[in-house]
Amino acid sequence: MNASTHEYGGLSDEAEKVLLIARDAPMRFQLRRTLEAMKFDVQETSDGGGAIIRLRMEACEVILMECATFGAENVMACGQLRCLYPRLPILVTSSLDSLDHKVVALEAGADDFLVHPLHERELAARLRSAVRRFRAPAMGAAERLVVGEIILDLAGHRVEKSGEEVSLAPSEFRLLEILMQQPGRVVSHTFLAGMFWGRETAANRKHLRVIMRGLRRKIEEDPSHPKYLVTHAHFGYRFQIQ
């Protein structure tokens, strides 16, 4: 190819905002030059953790993820970004033309998969098409999550249990939201730490336990024997479906 958190639209008179993720520095430089030559507004980072941090600081309308092979690290990054930003388009580019890798990427949350060599006009068209869909008003987006007697109101940022409002700290609300979006499924410590802080460390895992402890005190009848917020030892947490 020749070089030539937040989720909102309403930027139609501005250059399309692309967040470029590429671990390989020369490839990242080349892609950035190409995108800027095509009049895209480009931010860049080397990995998924950096992408989450970037998105907390600046708006983005499409993610372009470059990877030699779509491995476990890319699967985790794509899943984290999709969970944090459900409407934000994710396009993956790779030099590996493999059906298995394409399927894995799409199942992990990617919207499109392009194989090198990339044609600049096609790349620009796919990116701008994704941005147009992103800028369009969201239709039918879920505003409430309901599991058993727990209701989480995303629009109102409220939680009810058995009809009574429960006051949660922002971090507790976010943790509950992530778990309720995947009821019955175990969500790993690594995934959760990535969602909150971009990566997992011993300190982050300890902080995660503190958030969970506070959440259980407010949601569970008996926090020491949780009915909803179940621990899977050494792995993660699950929101139990009753």
Which tokens is 65 given?
């993820």
CATH 3.40.50.2300 range(s) for the chain read 17-135
| Fold of domain 144-239 | Arc Repressor Mutant, subunit A (1.10.10)
Quick one: pLDDT at residue 12?
44
Can you tell me which residue has the tokens 């930027």? 11
| Separation in Å, CA 83 to CA 100, 117, 180 | 22, 30, 12
- Domain 17-135 classification at class level: alpha beta
Per DSSP bridges, beta strands 17-22 and 41-45 are parallel
Q: Which residues, given as ranges, of the chain have pLDDT below 50?
A: 2-12, 139-140
| Rounded Cα–Cα distance for residues 58 and 61 (Å) | 10
What is the model's pTM? 0.58
Quick one: pLDDT at residue 65?
96
CATH 1.10.10.10 range(s) for the chain read 144-239
Quick one: pLDDT at residue 1?
56
Quick one: pLDDT at residue 61?
92
Quick one: pLDDT at residue 93?
93
| Contact between 148 and 241 (Cβ < 8 Å) | yes
